[in-house]
Each structure stands twice: as C-alpha cells, then as structure tokens.
Amino acid sequence: MKEHLEELLAQSMLHLQREGVLPAESEIGIQLERTRSPEHGEFASNLAMVLAKDAGMPPRELAQAIIERTPKSRQVERMEVAGPGFINFYLQTCAFTGVIKDALRQRENYGQLVRVGLNRVTLEYVSANPTGPLHVGHGRGAAYGASLANILVAAGYEIQREYYVNDNGRQMDILAVCVWLRYLELCGEIISFPDNGYRGDYIYDIARLVRVEHGDKWRFTRLAVEEGLPLSPQAGGEGETYLDALIAKARELLGDEGYLVFFNTALNNILDDIKDDLADFGVVFDKWFSERDLEESGSVQHAIDRLGKNGYLYEKDGATWFKATELGDEKDRVVIRENGRTTYFASDIAYFLNKLERGFKRAVYIFGADHHGYVARLQAAARGLGEDPDRLEILLVQFAVLFRFGEKVAMSTRSGQFITLRELREEVSTDAARFFYVMRSHDQHLDFDLDLAKSRSNENPVFYIQYAHARICSVFRNLLDMDQRHNEAIGEVALDLLTQDHEFQLMRNISKFPETIDSAARLRAPHMLAHYLHSLATDLHSYYNAHQFLVEDENLRNARLNLVLATKMVLSKGLGILGVSAPEEM
RNA sequence: GCCCUCGUAGCUCAGCAGGAUAGAGCAAUCGCCUCCUAAGCGAUAGGUCACACGUUCGAAUCGUGUCGAGGGCGCCA
C-alpha cells in the first residue's frame, strides 16, 4: 500500500518537473508516513512543505498542485491538503479489506519481506566465556540477538548466527586450575582455594567427572602443589600473581596430557551446558566459532601481517603495538605481548577479518554495554585492516536488573550469588523471559519484574498477547462445536460487510505488520515488534468485546472469521519471531 | 580526568530518518459477564518531554553547554 502511494506521488512529481514548477534536478525523496489519527486519513506526506522553497510557492498551494497531478487509484478515496501543507490520503474500503486477502493468501509468509541484492550478514551474540553457566546478564543478549536474527530474516536478509567461543585465554587456564584444585580436594588434599578463582559448585561437578574417569591419577600432595608458590590472596598476596603461579605449577606437575584433561573436560562440559541452556531458551546458532581454531589456522598472524603491511604496527618495550590512535581510538593497543603471545584484541581483529573473508558483507556484533570500550578499537582495527568500517556494526545491550517484591535482586559474580539464566527460565517460563528481555529498547536499562513476568493476569503483556491468540483459537473451536465450518471463500467475497470501527482498526493494524518488520529490522529494534503485537492484541480484545463473531448471517460470519484468522496468523508469526509460543488455549 | 549510553505521566516505558492536539501499560476513580474464555472491555484523571541556548516553515527527536543516573577506560579475558 505504502509503495503504491509513493509511486503515485512520484508520478505527480515527474509532471511538476516537466512543467517546470519544480526544478528538474531537484532530488526528491518521497516521505510518506502513517497518520496518528484517522481524521487525517491513513497516510500523509510532507512533500509540499519540504519542496516549497524549491518551487517558490507556499506549501499548501504546492500540495494542491501535487494532488491535482496525482494519478487516480481505485484504492484511494481522496487526497486533501491539511494543516501547514500536509497531503493526506484517505483510502477506499477495498484498500483495507485487501490486507485480509493478502494475509490469508500468503499465510505464514505474510510479513516476509523480499530484499534485492546480496545481504549476507553474520550476527554474533552471547559469546560468553565458557567458564561457567550463563546468568541472567547473558540472557538479554541472547534474547535480543535471537529475536533480531529472526527479524532480519523476516526482512529478507540472509543471516548467519554465530557464537564466539573464547576457549584460548587465561580465564580458561584459571578455570582448568580451579577444577584441578577441587579435584585434589575430592582426593582428600586440603589445599586452600584462591578467592579470586571460580568458586561455583559446578566446578566440583566437573572435578568429580575427572575423578570418575581417571581416579587419583592426577593427585599430588599439598606440599608438592604449594612448593614455591607466592602468598595466596587470603594470606595477603596478590591474587592474579598467585593464579598465574598456580597455572604454571599445574602445567609442570600435570604435564601436557594431564593439563589438557582438566582443561578440555571443563571446556566441553561447560560449553555443552551452555548449548543446552540456550537451546531450551529457543536461542540457536549456525556456528560455534572457536578462538583456538582461529589461532591455530594462522588467522591471527594473517591479520597482524595485514596491519603491518598497512603500516599500523610498531615495536615498543619489547611488544608490538597497533597505532589505534591514528584511526580514532583513544590509545594505541598491544597486539603481541613482550612474552610473544598475542593479545585477546589481536584475536578480535583476526576474527573480524575472518568474517569478511568468509564472504559476509557485514559483521554485526551484540555486546553487553560494559564492552562499549571495544567499539572504538574495533573500528580502528577495521580501518587498519583497510576495510570499510561500515561493514562492522556493534550493538550494545544495556543491563537488566531483576526486581522481586518491588526490590532489586542483589547479584554479584564474585560471591557466586548470581542467578543463572536457567533459574530465571524455570521461575518465570521461557516465554515470559524471552518477551520481557526484548520489550524494552536494547539501549535502555531494563527493569525486569519477576513477579509480573510470573503473573497470569492482564498486567502481564505476554499473557495478554497470548490470550488474544488463544481467544481466536477458541472461537474456531466453538464454531466446530456448532457443527459449522469456516468458509474462507465466502468470507472473502463478503469482506465489504466489515464496516465497524473496530474492524477497520484491526485491518489497519494488520497492514502495519510488514512495515513493523521493516522498521524493527532497520533499527535493530525487536521491542518495536513487541509493542506492535501488544497493540494488535488490544485491537482484537476490543473487537471481541464489542462484537460477536459467530453470528447467524453466513456472509458476515465468514468475513469476520477471515479477519480474526488473519489476526491470529500475525500474532502467531510475530510471537514466533520473538521466540514466544502462541498457545491454542489458556 | 577522558569516553559511551540515558533523562518523556506517580511507576515501567513507546514515540518508527524533525511534522498536525506527546502515546501505551501499571497504579487511582467509575462502569461492563442470563453474551464466542472477565487472563477481557469501556470511561475519567494524570505532562514545563531534566534545564538553557542554537539550527528551520516546524524540535521530545538534530547541535552545543549545564545538571543528574548508569557504565567503560590494563602487555585482563
């Protein structure tokens, strides 16, 4: 519909240019938007106000001229000049009812947009370090990323979902060592556990697994382990130094074989847990990308070489630095440490380059807001590699704070006092969690009300929308109970009988679905879809209360059933995109 | 100190490339079930869009500054 009206306006513009009313060279972006109220018709354009200066005539006069030259359309009832120079479009009934026909004809594909050209995009989200179970902080990124991916697919992009597994860093070494310490504890060795290590109970579980498989094979006495170690943090020593010494000690005593047993058991176990957790959350990935693979394949060196070739590297203090300041970052960054190891940042650069080299036109990253410091340096890296920085897009997701009984739920990773994503799902259901996480704009802090998410009441937007869907399903069940059938063909012919305000409002809103997908995709804003679905549910509930669908008149009945069936399909598709189920009954 | 995000009804938030009278939901008040699920609907009330300048036909929206909130600034990951 929108495209149709834009085309009409474009034709009118062409006439005006030919007549010399408008300068031929003036570049015209047709701007057409939904009106806020039906008093102003369905669509409005500010064209005349924008071009008034070029044309050298008052906006209202120009608006009138545009209207006079606009080709007739059987969908348009009339056009009017309004206010300071708006052109309002009032539509024929067939323009409304046509939406129902479209929707029913396209079924599940209604709202699926087609995009021309290559649009391969890789979308990376979650990418939590596999050092422990996902917690509620990861949940928002997961829900946001998964919903956004679905929206982009609906908007016609070819999307690849990717999780970057950081299986190569110091944190992983710390994890392996912590598992070993717990293992020794299970073997009966009394060894103090550093309070800056991973203290969660899941570490015991992994240690137990090693013990089941290997018995006491990797047991060493407390004396052997602690010999030569610096002071532990509990005893007043420096925590990080202590952990590094522990890592070195573990490698020394365990050898490569033993060390890998702990390392890999921890990694695989936690990663499997994360995969299960996300799958249960409806969050899927096409690729789990390992940082170790990245390094072993030579990609990191390849990226560093590229930076060097482009003249953005220099040596200082025995390390290799990237001249990020020349490219918009606030300070230069080390890529190869004094000890010869590459930094995490070097891997990031390599990973970005790798994505482009795999053929993606654009790499989208979803980070927690605490990573916003990465934006400038990654952009600098993109430039340093000689790539267009526009191909890198970083979306920041703000934090979510849980509230229970009106009070903030205290959480701290350090004390192990965090709520896991799994616990959240079990408490409020996956449906509620998925919806609540994305119902606010991603760049907005989120207050997550656990009690509301759990409540089965009209205050809970998830139930409100699901209930609209279930209500429609219920109507169709009642129809069957009355030994009647829905005849779509009869309904389609009788659509002109839909003349109630509630019916126009519902049709209008159904027609906004594709536009909503488009906007939500363009602005990376799943919350727009969440709000849209809520408004569609409102329209359905109002309609339901105002009018009976299952009426005697066969024509009217089937027309109304066509309308609510289209509504049901949009609700179901929209909820599906957000990862929320659309129940048949509640 | 420097940087990022944000500031809209009592509360939680929308406001989609600047548009017409700033919108929802909760909470408040008043109504609606012999009627397809009341997990619903209708009505009333509620605002200096943090503040000040600027850009223009027009600013909650764009720019600058001030105030306030949260976050980030390692040869950590």
Distance in Å from B76's C1' to A469's CA comes to 49
The confidence score (pLDDT) of residue A416 equals 52
Question: Nearest-CA neighbor of A349 among A395, A372, A310, A383?
Answer: A383
The domain total for chain A is 3
Share of chain A above pLDDT 70, in %: 97
Distance in Å from B22's C1' to A98's CA comes to 32
A182 touches strand B (CB under 7 A): no
In DSSP terms, A314 is beta-bridged to A321
Whether residue A86 lies inside any domain: the answer is: yes
A87 and A178 part of one domain: no
The confidence score (pLDDT) of residue A408 equals 80
Whether residue A466 lies inside any domain: the answer is: yes
Domain boundary among A56, A91, A126: A91
The confidence score (pLDDT) of residue A468 equals 95
| For range A255-265, the mean pLDDT | 95
* Chain B, protein-covered positions (CB within 7 A): 2-6, 12-17, 19-21, 23-27, 35-42, 57-58, 70-77
CA distance A367 to A369: 6
A36 touches strand B (CB under 7 A): yes
Whether residue A237 lies inside any domain: the answer is: yes
A300 touches strand B (CB under 7 A): no
Q: pLDDT tens across A399-450, in order?
A: 888 888 877 887 655 445 678 899 999 999 999 999 999 999 888 888 888 8
Q: What is the CATH number of the domain that holds A554?
A: 1.10.730.10
Looking at per-residue confidence, does A266 or A447 come out higher? A266
Q: pLDDT tens across A92-150, in order?
A: 999 999 999 999 999 999 999 988 776 799 999 999 989 989 988 899 999 999 999 99
| For range A1-29, the mean pLDDT | 81
CA distance A389 to A387: 6
Task: Report the protein residue whose CA lies nearest the C1' of nucleotide B58.
Answer: A84
Domain boundary among A47, A63, A91: A91
- Name the nucleotide nearest A46; use CA and C1': B19
A371 touches strand B (CB under 7 A): yes
Q: Which two tokens stand for residue A137?
A: 């902080």
Q: How far is CA A291 from CA A11, A142, A163, A168, A333, in A?
A: 55, 20, 10, 6, 20
A480 and A570 part of one domain: yes
Distance in Å from B22's C1' to A138's CA comes to 35
* Domain enclosing residue A64, as ranges: 2-91
Question: Nearest-CA neighbor of A211 among A250, A184, A175?
Answer: A184
Q: What is the CATH number of the domain that holds A34?
A: 3.30.1360.70
Whether residue A271 lies inside any domain: the answer is: yes
Task: Report the protein residue whose CA lies nearest the C1' of nucleotide B75.
Answer: A337
The confidence score (pLDDT) of residue A414 equals 47
Domain boundary among A280, A310, A332: A280
A545 touches strand B (CB under 7 A): yes
A228 touches strand B (CB under 7 A): no
The confidence score (pLDDT) of residue A228 equals 87
pLDDT band at A398 (very low <50, low <70, confident <90, very high): confident
The confidence score (pLDDT) of residue A578 equals 96
Distance in Å from B32's C1' to A226's CA comes to 76
Looking at per-residue confidence, does A417 or A74 come out higher? A74
CA distance A549 to A213: 65
| For range A3-7, the mean pLDDT | 87
Q: How far is CA A92 from CA A157, A453, A491, A561, A567, in A?
A: 33, 42, 19, 21, 21
Question: Nearest-CA neighbor of A543 among A499, A479, A494, A583?
Answer: A499
Question: Nearest-CA neighbor of A564 among A583, A585, A547?
Answer: A547
Distance in Å from B54's C1' to A5's CA comes to 36
Looking at this predicted complex, what is its ipTM? 0.94
Whether residue A119 lies inside any domain: the answer is: no
- Name the nucleotide nearest A470; use CA and C1': B37
φ and ψ at residue A186, rounded to 5 degrees = -65, -30
Distance in Å from B27's C1' to A457's CA comes to 15
A480 and A573 part of one domain: yes
Determine the residue type at A284: V
Q: pLDDT tens across A521-560, in order?
A: 989 999 999 999 999 999 999 999 999 999 999 999 999 9
A531 touches strand B (CB under 7 A): yes
Q: Which two tokens stand for residue A533?
A: 């679905």
DSSP category for residue A393:
E
Whether residue A486 lies inside any domain: the answer is: yes
A338 touches strand B (CB under 7 A): yes
Share of chain A above pLDDT 90, in %: 66
Distance in Å from B45's C1' to A546's CA comes to 24
Task: Report the protein residue whose CA lies nearest the C1' of nucleotide B57.
Answer: A49
The confidence score (pLDDT) of residue A282 equals 96
Whether residue A156 lies inside any domain: the answer is: no
Whether residue A535 lies inside any domain: the answer is: yes
Q: pLDDT tens across A211-258, in order?
A: 999 999 999 999 999 988 888 888 888 888 899 999 999 999 999 999
Distance in Å from B77's C1' to A215's CA comes to 32
A530 touches strand B (CB under 7 A): no
Give residues 250-279 of chain A lying near strand B (Cβ < 7 A). none
| Own/partner pairs, A474-482, CB within 8 angstroms, 24+ separation | A474/A585, A475/A549, A475/A550, A475/A561, A475/A564, A476/A561, A476/A565, A477/A585, A478/A550, A479/A550, A479/A561, A482/A550
Q: pLDDT tens across A339-382, in order?
A: 888 998 999 999 999 999 999 999 999 988 888 878 888 989 99
Give residues 443-502 of chain A lying near strand B (Cβ < 7 A). 443-447, 456-459, 461, 463-464, 467, 470-471, 473-475, 478
Distance in Å from B3's C1' to A163's CA comes to 28
pLDDT at A581 over 90: yes
- How does the average pLDDT of chain A come out, rounded? 91
A471 and A573 part of one domain: yes
Q: Are A526 and A148 in contact (CB under 8 A)?
A: yes
A586 touches strand B (CB under 7 A): yes
Question: Nearest-CA neighbor of A100 among A391, A386, A492, A523?
Answer: A492
Instruction: Report helix angle A299-309 to A344-357, nearest 10.
Output: 90
CA distance A93 to A567: 18
